[in-house]
């Protein structure tokens, strides 16, 4: 009887091991490829669409901007390089408002903090709030600022990680067909 119990114990352990190994190897049952995180944005490919609430309390989606090039800047008020490049982005957002849409995506800060910063620094281009960081995760953002240059068809033409200089901004704007 004790030998039978040992065999059953061993067989049960193997079965549990096979199930656990299958889950690790193939994922949880019911999880489809569509529910997994998409690959990171890639130059020459369409960017993933998303929807976020703006400081104006309206919902916005990236796909709503199709037809116009987009400068999508991920930033935070606690980020010194973000704060330093913001006046440059504001200046070009004003000068090129009919040619390109600048969008600031604030990472994981509350609306009051962001609004106070935007008001104090006289930033006029739209700011969208990524309070949970879900869009930053979707775009594989791990450092700030991080700027995407998207053409009018929604295709990523360039990405810049770190603070933009005016020369770099002009180069990237040219890549999306905008000549200041």
HEC profile of 23-90:
HHHHCCCCCCHHHCCCCCCCCCCECCCCEEEECCCCEEEHHHHCCCCEEEEEECCCCHHHHHHHHHHH
pLDDT of residue 36: 75
pLDDT of residue 32: 46
Give the separation between CA 169 and CA 160, rounded to whole angstroms. 9
Sign for the pseudo-dihedral over CA of 169, 132, 59, 125:
negative
pLDDT of residue 8: 56
Which tokens hold the place of 98?
């009919």
pLDDT of residue 33: 47
What size, in residues, is the chain?
A: 180
pLDDT of residue 37: 79
**64, 91, 109, 119: CA torsion to nearest 10:** -110
Which tokens hold the place of 59?
């919902």
- Three-class secondary structure of residue 140 per DSSP: coil
Q: Are 135 and 47 spatial neighbours (Cβ–Cβ below 8 Å)?
A: no
Tens place of pLDDT for every residue, the chain, 180 residues?
A: 566 665 555 555 555 555 555 555 555 444 444 457 789 999 999 999 999 999 999 999 999 999 999 999 999 999 999 999 999 999 999 999 999 999 999 999 999 999 999 999 999 999 999 999 999 999 999 999 999 999 999 999 999 999 999 999 999 999 999 998
Give residue 32's region: left, alpha or beta (phi > 0; psi -120 to 50): beta
Instruction: Say how many C-beta atoms besides its own lie within 10 A of residue 138's C-beta.
Output: 17
């Amino acid at each position: 009887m004790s030998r039978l119990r040992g065999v059953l114990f061993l067989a049960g352990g193997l079965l549990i091991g096979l199930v656990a190994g299958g889950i690790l190897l193939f994922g949880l049952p019911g999880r489809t490829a569509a529910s997994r995180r998409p690959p990171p944005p890639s130059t020459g490919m369409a960017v993933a669409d998303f929807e976020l609430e703006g400081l104006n309390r309206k919902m916005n989606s990236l796909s709503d901007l199709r037809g116009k090039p987009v400068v999508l800047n991920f930033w935070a008020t606690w980020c010194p390089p973000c704060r330093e490049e913001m006046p440059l982005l504001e200046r070009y957002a004003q000068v090129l408002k009919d040619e390109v849409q600048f969008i600031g995506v604030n990472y994981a800060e509350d609306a009051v903090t962001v609004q106070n910063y935007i008001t104090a620094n006289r930033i006029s281009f739209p700011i969208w709030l990524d309070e949970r960081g879900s869009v930053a995760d979707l775009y594989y953002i791990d450092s700030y600022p991080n700027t995407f240059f998207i053409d009018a068809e929604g295709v990523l033409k360039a990405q810049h990680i770190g603070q933009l200089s005016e020369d770099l901004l002009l180069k990237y704007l040219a890549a999306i067909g905008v000549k200041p």
